[in-house]
Each structure stands twice: as C-alpha cells, then as structure tokens.
C-alpha cells in the first residue's frame, strides 16, 4: 500500500518540462537591432538610387568634360581670377574611365592651346593612375598656354618670345592694371600675340624688378610641351620647373561658364558675378 505524498515532498520534486515561448520583442527594440537593420536598408537604398548617378558623373568627368576654377592671375588677361572654365578631357586622347591610363597614343597640343595639367612631380602613387576629385586621388592642377611642342627650341630675349629662332608676332595694345588674388594692383603692358592664326593677349610687367627678360634657349623633349602663363612676368611656369609630360595633360580649356570677382564686395563672401565673361571662348 503506497504512502501518500506529503505536500512538502511534492514541492521538492522537479517540475515537468514545459516549453515556454520567448518574450515578444518590443516594436521599439531597445536592443538597437531594428534601428541598425533599417539604417542598413536605408544606406543600401541610397546607394542603389544615387550610386549610378554619381558613377555616371565621375565617368563623364574623367572621359569627356571637367570644370576647373582659376585661383591665380598667371593667365590674365585671357583667364581672370575667379573664372570657372570647362575643359574637354578627350582633346588629346581618351583614357580608361576613372583613370589616367591612356587608351591610345596621346596627341601633342598645338602651339597656342590653353591646357590644364597635373603639376609635374605631383602625380606620384595612386594619383598617377586614378582620376578622381577626392583625396587621396585629387591632384595639383595648373592651367597655362602651350608655347613649345616636342622638338621646339624656346627662348626669351628682352621680353620677346622666340620659338625655333623666330620671333612670335605681337602688337602693343595699351597699359593694363593687373589685380592679383590679394587685390593688389600692378602696372603692366598689354600686347596681342599670335600663334598660327589665333591671336591672344599677354601681359608684361613695366617695373624692372618684376621683369623676366631673358630665358633659354631650351629644347622641348619628346612627349613633353613647354607651357607659359599669359601674364608673363607673374607666372610660375616651364621657365621655373621644366616641361610638362603629355601624360600629365588633362585636357583643353574651351570656355568660361561662370566668373566671380572676389575683389568686389557686392555679394558678401563671394564678391560679384562678371556676367560679361560668362560664355566667352578661350583663345
């Protein structure tokens, strides 16, 4: 005959296995999983929506056209400080998209072309291969006029430019006041100079202390060009740092699409818009 189990003995026995459902998660999920998941989904949607557009912009910029802003006065009067220009990237040859690697053999610019190029010696490492406007790929870019192509002999005598022993035609226009990026004025002489059939304007300093009277002769090596600023005595160019490799040339300057005069105060922090320069072609 079995003995009845006492209440204390019953309570000491282990309870039968019972399947317990996990607690339901709050919609707010204080653990943060839902927030991170939604953030990831939002980031993916942003990437898939805008990524192709940004990629297309970068491809167009690397292969077809690119805007540049003129920060200094080395190309005055052709390009004013604050001019924003459009450059065609395919003018001298195509490159693999988003890179600086030529697809075919690069062509040399013609004398008189205004070109944008990577400053020689500043295209080391990844900058030598990748063409993107963001660090660490962004480059130091200059804009100058080509005055000598491969094989040319370039020199200056008493402020007169000679190429292959021939004087480059120039005609005095007038006295010209050049204003630099610090809004300081300099007295110069303005001339019209001609390469081939295309005339353009150049400046020469009037004060002897600012004059670069003589240079060269220098022979332009193969696959290089000799570049100078149109503001001849206020330009740091091939006379100071040598010739430009063809591979460094990004493209040909075509026209001005916007121009700001930062020495004017009509618009705070911006200066004033030069409407008369907008749309001008670059000779």
Which of 75, 70, 69, 116 lies closest to 203 in space, CA to CA? 75
User: What number is the average pLDDT over the span 107-133?
Assistant: 95
With CA atoms as reference, report the closest residue to 67 among 143, 122, 126: 143
Cis amide prior to 77 (ω within 30 degrees):
yes
In which residue are the tokens 């079995």 written?
2
Residue 52: predicted pLDDT: 77
Burial label for 199, CB within 10 Å (0-12, 13-18, 19+), is middle
User: How confident is the model over 140-153, as a mean pLDDT?
Assistant: 97
Residue-range domain boundaries for the chain: 51-273
Tell whether the model's pLDDT for residue 25 goes beyond 60. Answer: no
Tokens of 82: 């604050």
Q: pLDDT, tens digit, for every residue of 60-104?
A: 888 899 999 999 999 999 999 999 999 999 999 999 999 999 999
Whether 106 shows a pLDDT value over 80: the answer reads yes
What pLDDT score was predicted for residue 39?
A: 61
pLDDT at position 62, please? 80
Q: Which residue has the higher pLDDT, 177 or 39?
A: 177
Instruction: Point out the residues that are catalytic.
Output: 74, 144
Paired sense of beta strands 224-228 and 215-219, if any: unpaired
Domain 51-273 listed as CATH 2.10.109.10: yes
Mean pLDDT across 214-243: 96
Full-model pTM: 0.81
Burial class (CB in 10 A: 0-12, 13-18, 19+), 5: exposed
Which residue would you say has higher pLDDT here, 10 or 246? 246
All residues at 6 or more sequence positions from 130 whose CB lies less than 8 Å from its CB, including other chains: 98, 99, 100, 137
How far apart are alpha carbons 199 and 106 in whole angstroms?
A: 26
In degrees and rounded to multiples of 5, residue 27 shows phi and psi of -60, -30
Say which residue, 46 or 31, is predicted with more confidence: 46
Mean pLDDT of the chain: 86
Report helix, strand or coil for 25: coil
Beta carbons within 8 Å of 166's beta carbon, 6+ residues apart:
none
From the list 156, 228, 230, the residue with the least C-alpha distance to 188 is 230
Task: Please give the pLDDT value at position 36.
Answer: 63
210 falls in which pLDDT band (50, 70, 90)?
A: low
């Amino acid at each position: 005959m079995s003995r009845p189990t006492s209440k204390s003995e019953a309570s000491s026995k282990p309870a039968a296995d019972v399947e317990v459902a996990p607690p339901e998660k709050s919609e707010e999920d204080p653990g943060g999983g839902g927030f991170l998941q939604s953030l990831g989904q939002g980031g993916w949607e942003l990437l898939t929506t805008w990524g192709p557009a940004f990629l297309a912009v970068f491809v167009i910029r690397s292969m077809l056209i690119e805007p540049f802003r003129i920060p200094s006065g080395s190309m005055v009067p052709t390009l004013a400080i604050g001019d924003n220009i459009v450059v065609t990237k395919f003018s001298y040859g195509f490159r693999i998209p988003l890179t600086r690697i030529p697809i075919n053999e690069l062509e040399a610019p013609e004398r008189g072309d205004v070109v944008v190029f990577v400053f020689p010696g500043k295209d080391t490492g990844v900058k030598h291969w990748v063409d993107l406007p963001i660090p660490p790929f962004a480059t130091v870019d200059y804009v100058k006029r080509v005055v000598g192509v491969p094989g040319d002999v370039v020199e200056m005598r008493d402020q007169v430019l000679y190429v292959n022993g021939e004087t480059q035609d120039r005609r005095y226009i007038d006295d010209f006041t050049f204003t630099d990026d610090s809004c300081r004025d300099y007295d110069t002489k303005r001339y019209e100079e001609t390469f081939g059939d295309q005339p353009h304007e150049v400046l020469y300093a009037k004060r002897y202390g600012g004059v670069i009277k003589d240079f060269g002769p220098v022979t332009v090596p193969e696959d290089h060009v000799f570049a100078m600023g149109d503001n001849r005595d206020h330009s740091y160019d091939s006379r100071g740092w040598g010739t430009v490799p063809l591979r460094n040339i990004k493209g040909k300057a075509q026209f001005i699409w916007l121009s700001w005069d930062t020495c004017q105060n009509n618009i705070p922090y911006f200066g004033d818009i030069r409407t008369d320069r907008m749309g001008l072609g670059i000779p």
